[in-house]
Amino acid sequence: MKKKKIITIAIDSPAAAGAGTQAKLISKHYNLFYLDTGKIYRLIAHYKIKYPKKFNYLFIKRKMKMIKMSDLQNKQLLSNNVGILASIIAKNKKIRKIVHSFQIKCAYNPPKKYNGSCLDGRDITYKIIPDADFKFFITANVKNRAKRRYLELLKLNKKIPYNEVLKSIKKRDKNDYNRKISPLKKTKDSTLINTTNLSKKACFLKIKKIIDKKLIINGNI
């Protein structure tokens, strides 16, 4: 029997640009398996803090083999410190290699009940799903992103001064854009979505319009 063609959506973005929110809305709308790849680097950062003595490549490999989606829901992964440590860990070539195989599996072999997959991160459009059906680069002004992250952290009862959040977003941008391995970049074939002056809904509708247009042309809907 011919294997059903799945839809793949790749999204890259700097921190707190709203990519996760959009990826979740898109995944729900098109019934796609969603993977927030940043959460994996955050999980590894969390392990480094929790198990400093056991932390090595073999330990990470073992943990990745046993990974469950529920591990990625841990609220501790959302802290500012874990985010900064994740962006330092993410520079490591060997760790990225371990993490990539899991991400590629999720992208090309999502559970059967889904119509495909949607992944967001920093290197999804050119490293994890280079042949994705849809590619987006979602960004926003840095002050705007810091304000969003500040409010998100407040909601989690983590009261960190706005200026500190802004500083850490800038630090992560510097790490992510300038690292040698898998730096954050907008590929030529990605559609730029700037969310600075867009509501969540307006942004979703903009992305949906692009996806629907191609799906209709290709006879998918």
- Note whether 123 binds ligand C5P by CB under 6 A: yes
Per 3-state DSSP, what percentage of the chain is helix, strand, and coil (rounded to 5)?
Answer: 55, 10, 30
The answer for residues whose C-beta is within 8 angstroms of residue 141's C-beta and 6 or more apart is 196
- Note whether 176 binds ligand C5P by CB under 6 A: yes
- Note whether 79 binds ligand C5P by CB under 6 A: no
Max Cα-Cα span within the chain: 57
Can you state the angle between helices 38-50 and 80-89, rounded to 10 degrees?
Answer: 100
Stretch that binds ligand C5P, among 24-32, 58-66, 122-130, 197-205 (CB under 6 A): 122-130
- Specify the DSSP class assigned to residue 71: G
Q: In the chain, which ranges are E strands?
A: 7-12, 32-36, 116-121, 134-139, 191-194
Q: In 50-196, which ranges are E strands?
A: 116-121, 134-139, 191-194
Of 7, 15, 138, 146, the residue at the interface with ligand C5P (CB under 6 A) is 15
Stretch that binds ligand C5P, among 106-114, 153-161, 172-180, 198-206 (CB under 6 A): 172-180
- Note whether 26 binds ligand C5P by CB under 6 A: no
The distance of closest approach from Cβ of residue 140 to ligand C5P in the complex, given in angstroms and rounded to an integer, is 13
- Note whether 83 binds ligand C5P by CB under 6 A: yes
Judge contact between 172 and 87, C-beta under 8 A.
yes
Stretch that binds ligand C5P, among 139-147, 159-167, 171-179, 191-199 (CB under 6 A): 171-179
- Note whether 86 binds ligand C5P by CB under 6 A: yes
When the beta carbons of 88 and 215 are compared against ligand C5P, the nearer one is 88
Rounded-to-integer distance, Cα 192 and Cα 40, Å:
25
Can you state the angle between helices 38-50 and 93-108, rounded to 10 degrees?
Answer: 130
Stretch that binds ligand C5P, among 21-29, 115-123, 158-166, 208-216 (CB under 6 A): 115-123
Q: Which residue is listed with tokens 């996760």? A: 20
- Note whether 90 binds ligand C5P by CB under 6 A: yes
- Note whether 145 binds ligand C5P by CB under 6 A: no
When the beta carbons of 23 and 207 are compared against ligand C5P, the nearer one is 23
- Note whether 18 binds ligand C5P by CB under 6 A: no
The distance of closest approach from Cβ of residue 9 to ligand C5P in the complex, given in angstroms and rounded to an integer, is 14
